[in-house]
């Protein structure tokens, strides 16, 4: 009597394992991508709240209307280079509140008065939040 498995049995087992891996890998990569998107949205939400808090702080010189701040994989920065020097204290305070803010998705925060709008929106059908007036 021969002990062990035949070649056909081994090929069948390998084929079944290949099918399982073929199904599992795309599901896993989709799960990882979804988790990374959630982290990016959470970070952008923290930045949005920090900007709203700083806008009502009387000790910080707030940016003028239509000033844009970008959140990228490199961190936080003003969209216009001239705003970097004009609102340096504001950006320093913002970076101290959310020190490691980075995102693979680029978000743009537009300041208008005491409100901050985010593009792309963090939640469907919601494109802005408003800070309480000082």
- pLDDT score for 84: 81
> CA 115 to CA 113: how far, in whole Å?
6
Q: Structure pTM? A: 0.71
Tell me whether the omega of the peptide bond preceding residue 120 falls within 30 degrees of 0, making it cis: yes
User: Which of 19, 26, 46 has the alpha carbon at shortest distance from 101?
Assistant: 46
Sign of the Cα pseudo-torsion (39, 44, 49, 54, in order): positive
Residue 127: pLDDT over 50 = no
14: left (phi over 0), alpha (psi -120 to 50) or beta: alpha
The residue with greater pLDDT, 93 or 130, is: 93
Residue 4: pLDDT over 90 = no
The residue with greater pLDDT, 22 or 57, is: 22
Q: What is the pLDDT of residues 58-108, one digit of tens each?
A: 887 888 778 899 999 999 999 887 778 888 888 899 999 998 899 998 999
Q: What is the pLDDT of residues 40-60, one digit of tens each?
A: 999 999 999 999 888 888 887
Residue 23: pLDDT over 90 = yes
Label residue 124 by pLDDT band (50, 70, 90).
low
Q: Retrieve residue 96's tokens.
A: 């101290």
């Amino acid at each position: 009597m021969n002990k062990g498995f035949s070649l056909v049995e081994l090929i069948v087992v390998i084929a079944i394992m290949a099918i399982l891996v073929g199904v599992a890998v795309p599901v896993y990569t989709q799960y990882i991508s979804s988790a990374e998107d959630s982290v990016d949205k959470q970070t952008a939400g923290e930045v949005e709240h920090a900007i709203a808090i700083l806008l009502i702080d009387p000790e910080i010189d707030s940016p003028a209307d239509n000033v844009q701040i970008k959140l990228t994989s490199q961190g936080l920065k003003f969209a216009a280079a001239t705003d970097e020097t004009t609102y340096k204290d504001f950006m320093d305070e913002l970076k101290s509140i959310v020190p490691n803010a980075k995102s693979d998705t680029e978000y743009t925060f537009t300041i208008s008065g005491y409100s901050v709008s985010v593009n792309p929106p963090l939640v469907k059908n919601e494109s802005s939040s408003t800070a309480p007036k000082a």
